[in-house]
Amino acid sequence: MVDTPATAVLLHSPFLGPASLAPLADALAALGRPVLPLDVRVTVNAAPVHQRIIGGLTDAVEDSGVSGDLVLIGHSGAGPLLPAFAEALEEAPVTGLVYLDSDLPTPGRSWRDTAPAELFSALKAASRGGLLQRWDRWFGPDGIADLVSDADLLAEITAEAPEVPLAFLKEPHPTIEWTGPQALLRLSPAYDEACAQAAALGWPVRELDLHHLAAATDPEPVALALADLLDRLGR
């Protein structure tokens, strides 16, 4: 670890809330890592979602009073927005980006452009009033219960899941290029391709055979893997 490690700014998926990363925040803090977990749920309830999330992140970091270097860690759908988040934080020194079980950025392309057409069609058919079903309901009647066995934690995660506008899936990702240090931590097989892409780019990568919500259910090994990546980034 460097003498003064960068603050790890934890960005939850737009389809979830801060409870999905809160155990990870505690585990990183226990390792001596300064952590800033954010809550940007209020920004995802109306279009344009990307613009609102970026503005909300900037305000949240400024309001936190955090100082020194920052490393942005984006889980799932927050990952592709990391370069735009970094650019928006003009007054804060962002020194690295870490994609946590996330796709890599696709500047100018939307979620719809890169997802299977049948998945988008199913989500559109299940939407009501221009709003998507909550993310935990995308996976059948049992939702995510097979991933989160702790009933209290499951209830907290599902209660926080917002109804995101369908328009979010059609919004092009910001066309921002990031040239600083980047890394990826893969938790589930869904992100094997992203992991391979990151490795091909020469980024530090780690692979854990867990699942997409392991930051909540298995925070200690996830925190150790993230700390290793931050060390390898010199952050």
Determine if the pTM surpasses 0.75. yes
Q: Give how far Cα 235 sits from Cα of 1, 5, 71, 150, 161, Å.
A: 7, 6, 8, 33, 31
Taken in order of first residue, the domains within the chain and their CATH numbers are 7-106+175-232 (3.40.50.1820)
pLDDT for the residue numbered 2: 56
H/E segment holding residue 51: helix 49-64
Residue-level pLDDT at 42 = 83
Per-residue pLDDT of the chain (235 residues; tens, 9 = 90+): 556 889 999 999 999 999 999 999 999 999 999 999 999 888 888 888 888 988 888 888 988 889 899 999 999 999 999 999 999 997 779 999 999 999 999 888 988 998 889 988 999 999 999 999 999 888 776 778 889 999 999 999 999 999 999 999 999 988 888 889 999 999 999 999 999 999 999 999 999 999 999 999 999 999 999 999 999 998 7
201: closest CA among 183, 176, 227? 183
Q: Is the peptide bond before 221 cis (omega within 30 degrees of 0)?
A: no
94-100, strands of its sheet edge to edge: 35-37, 7-11, 70-75, 94-100, 182-186, 205-207
Q: Please name the helix (run of DSSP H) or strand (run of DSSP E) that holds residue 200, with its range, or none.
A: helix 192-200
